C-alpha cells in the first residue's frame, strides 16, 4: 500500500471536503476526530514574502518596525498583483513592541495602502508569533468569518524600547499632577543618581530570569551535544543557506530600499560560512568557561518582516490563483520554562503528526527553527530517545529519527537570521517552496518559543503549486 492510500489523502484537490478538528484540517478519509463545524474549509497558502533579514544595527537601523512590516506587505501586493480590497482581515506578530505603534498590524496596513475598513490586530507569542498570526487567520476562515487574510510579522532589534527605572517613572508621573512650579521643582529635586539607571530589555525568561543562551547550554549538556557537533551544525546551516541563495531558491525575498539608501537591499546579510578552525577559537558566550554555546553557533539579533496571503481554496479558485500549499494541521504546546524551555519541537512534532494521521517517515520536508545549534540538536536527540519519550513525555515509543537529508536544506535561523515576529512565515514559505522544488507532498514545521512553548504545523503541497 503506498503512502497516499495509507493516509487517505489521495488527490487532495478541489474535491476534498475538509474537516477542522482541534487545529487539524484534513480530508474525511484521514480518520481524524470529526467536528460538526459547518464553516470548515480547505485553507491555502497562496504565497508569501519577506524583507531581507539583516543583522541589527545595519542597513535598517534608521527605520521603525512598522516601516519594515509595510515593506513586506507592499512586496506581497506587488508580487501577486493583489487587489488590496479583496483582503478581509490582517494579523501580524511581533515580540518587542514599539510603544508608539502597539498595534503594528494596523499601522503597517494603513501605511501599505490597505483600506482603513480592513480590521487588523497584532499577536505575540515570542519566536512563534507569525505562526500564531497564520493560525489565527486559519481559525477565522474556518469559522466562516472571512475568506481572505494577510498574516505575517516583524521584529526590529536595531531600536528596542529602553525605559527609565521604575523610581524615575513614578516620579515623572507625579510631575504633571503638581499644581505649582515650586511643587514641580520639589519633585525633580527628589531625583537620585540611581533613578537614572535605564532598564534595558533582555532576552530572558521572566519566570526564571535565565537567558535562552544559558538554557541552550544546559539543554545541550543534558542531551550530550558536544561543542564540535554544534559548530558543525551551524556551519552546515550557513553553507546550505549560501548554496540556496546562490541557486536563487530564496525567492521569497522582496527588495527593500530604505530612505537615503543608494541601492536596493536584496539579500540576507548574516550568512557567513566560517571554517572549523575559526569557529573553534570562539569562547563560550553564556556559561563560562566550560559552556558550548558561542556567538557562532547561535542565532543573532535580526531585523526583518514577513507577510503571506491566506484564503479559502474556493476563493482562490474564483480568483484564478494557484496556491502553493494547504495548511493541514497545527498545534501549540507548552512545558516547564526552566528545564524544558527549548524543547517545543520535541513535544509538538508527535502531537501534530498524530492529529494529521501521519508518521515522521511520511514527511518529505522538515523545517525546524534553529535558535541555537545546541537547542536544535538536543531536540533531535530527544526525539530519537525511547527513554525520554517514555519517562518524560509519557509516550509509548520515541518520536523517531530525524532524516537530516530532509532537514533545513536551505539553511535556517542560525544563518538566515531570526526576527522573532517574522520567522514563522519564513518557515512556511521555505516549506512550501521546498515541497515544490523537491517534489514532496508533506512538510512539517516546528519551533520553540520563550515561556517553554512551541508550535507544530503540517503543510501539503497544492496540486496547482508553482514556484
Cβ-Cβ contacts under 8 Å for 160 (sequence gap 6 or more): 96, 201
Question: What count of other Cβ atoms lies within 10 Å of the Cβ of residue 193?
Answer: 6
DSSP state of 282: P
Exactly one of 127, 137, 149, 308 is catalytic; which is it? 127
Place of cell 499632577: 177
Question: What count of other Cβ atoms lies within 10 Å of the Cβ of residue 248?
Answer: 8
The 3-state DSSP composition of the chain as helix, strand, coil percent (nearest 5) reads: 40, 20, 45
Q: What angle do CA 277, 282, 287 make, to 5 degrees?
A: 140
Residue 310 · residue 141 · CB < 8 Å: yes
Burial call 364-380: b when 16+ CB within 10 Å, e when fewer? bbbbbbbbbbbbbbbbb
Region for 442 from its dihedrals, namely left if φ exceeds 0, alpha if ψ lies in -120 to 50, beta otherwise:
beta
Which of 204, 123, 157, 130 shows the shortest CA–CA distance to 53?
157
> Is residue 91 annotated as part of the catalytic site, yes or no?
no
Which of 126, 121, 32, 48 shows the shortest CA–CA distance to 328?
32
Exactly one of 137, 149, 308, 448 is catalytic; which is it? 448
Residue 369 · residue 423 · CB < 8 Å: yes
| Strands 148-155 vs 89-93: parallel, antiparallel or unpaired | parallel
> Is residue 308 annotated as part of the catalytic site, yes or no?
no
Query: Distance between CA atoms of 8 and 1, rounded to whole angstroms?
Result: 11
Whether residue 119 has a cis bond before it, omega within 30° of 0: no
Q: Provide the β-strand partners of residue 43.
A: 312
What is each CA distance from 430 to 74, 141, 467, in whole angstroms?
20, 23, 11
Enclosing H/E stretch for 150: strand 148-155
Residue 147 · residue 315 · CB < 8 Å: yes
Which of 19, 29, 36, 32 shows the shortest CA–CA distance to 357?
32
The x, y and z cell numbers of residue 450, run together, are: 520563550
Active site amino acids: 127, 448
Amino acid at each position: 500500500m503506498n503512502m497516499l492510500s495509507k493516509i487517505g489523502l489521495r488527490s487532495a484537490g478541489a474535491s476534498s471536503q475538509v474537516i477542522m478538528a482541534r487545529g487539524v484540517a484534513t480530508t474525511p478519509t484521514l480518520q481524524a476526530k470529526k467536528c460538526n463545524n459547518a464553516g470548515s474549509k480547505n485553507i491555502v497558502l497562496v504565497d508569501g514574502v519577506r524583507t531581507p533579514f539583516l543583522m541589527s544595527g545595519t542597513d535598517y537601523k534608521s527605520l521603525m518596525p512598522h516601516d519594515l512590516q509595510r515593506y513586506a506587505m507592499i512586496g506581497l501586493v506587488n508580487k501577486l498583483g493583489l487587489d488590496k480590497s479583496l483582503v478581509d482581515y490582517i494579523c501580524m506578530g511581533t515580540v518587542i513592541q514599539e510603544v508608539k505603534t502597539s498595534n503594528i498590524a494596523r499601522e503597517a496596513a494603513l501605511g501599505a495602502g490597505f483600506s482603513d475598513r480592513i480590521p487588523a490586530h497584532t499577536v505575540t507569542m515570542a519566536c512563534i508569533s507569525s505562526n500564531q498570526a497564520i493560525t489565527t487567520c486559519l481559525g477565522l476562515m474556518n469559522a466562516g468569518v472571512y475568506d481572505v487574510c494577510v498574516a505575517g510579522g516583524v521584529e526590529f532589534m536595531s531600536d528596542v524600547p529602553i525605559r527609565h527605572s521604575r523610581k524615575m517613572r513614578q516620579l515623572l508621573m507625579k510631575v504633571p499632577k503638581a499644581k505649582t512650579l515650586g511643587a514641580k521643582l520639589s519633585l525633580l529635586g527628589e531625583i537620585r543618581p540611581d533613578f537614572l539607571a535605564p532598564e534595558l530589555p533582555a532576552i530572558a525568561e521572566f519566570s526564571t530570569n535565565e537567558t535562552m543562551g544559558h538554557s541552550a547550554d544546559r539543554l545541550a549538556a543534558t542531551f550530550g551535544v558536544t561543542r564540535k557537533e554544534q559548530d558543525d551544525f551551524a556551519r552546515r546551516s550557513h553553507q546550505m543557506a549560501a548554496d540556496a541563495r546562490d541557486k536563487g531558491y530564496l525567492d521569497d525575498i522582496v527588495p527593500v530600499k530604505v530612505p537615503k539608501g543608494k541601492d536596493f537591499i536584496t539579500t540576507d546579510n548574516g550568512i557567513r560560512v566560517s571554517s572549523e578552525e575559526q569557529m573553534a577559537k570562539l569562547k563560550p558566550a553564556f556559561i563560562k568557561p566550560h559552556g558550548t554555546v558561542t556567538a557562532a553557533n547561535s542565532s543573532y539579533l535580526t531585523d526583518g518582516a514577513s507577510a503571506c496571503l491566506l484564503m479559502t481554496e474556493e476563493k482562490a479558485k474564483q480568483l484564478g490563483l494557484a496556491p502553493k500549499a494547504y495548511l493541514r494541521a497545527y498545534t501549540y504546546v507548552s512545558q516547564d520554562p526552566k528545564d524544558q524551555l527549548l524543547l517545543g519541537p520535541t513535544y509538538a512534532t508527535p502531537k501534530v503528526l498524530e492529529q494529521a494521521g501521519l508518521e515522521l517517515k511520511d514527511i518529505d520536508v522538515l523545517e525546524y527553527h534553529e535558535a541555537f545549534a545546541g537547542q536544535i540538536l538536543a531536540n533531535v536527540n530527544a526525539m530519537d530517545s525511547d527513554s525520554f519519550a517514555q519517562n518524560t513525555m509519557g509516550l509509548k515509543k520515541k518520536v523517531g529519527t530525524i532524516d537530516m537529508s530532509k532537514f533545513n536544506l536551505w539553511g535556517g535561523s542560525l544563518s538566515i537570521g531570526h526576527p522573532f515576529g517574522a520567522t514563522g512565515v519564513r518557515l512556511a514559505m521555505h516549506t512550501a517552496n521546498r515541497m515544490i522544488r523537491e517534489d514532496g507532498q508533506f512538510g512539517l514545521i516546528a519551533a520553540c518559543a520563550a515561556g517553554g512553548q512551541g508550535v507544530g504545523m503540517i503543510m501539503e503541497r497544492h496540486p496547482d503549486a508553482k514556484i
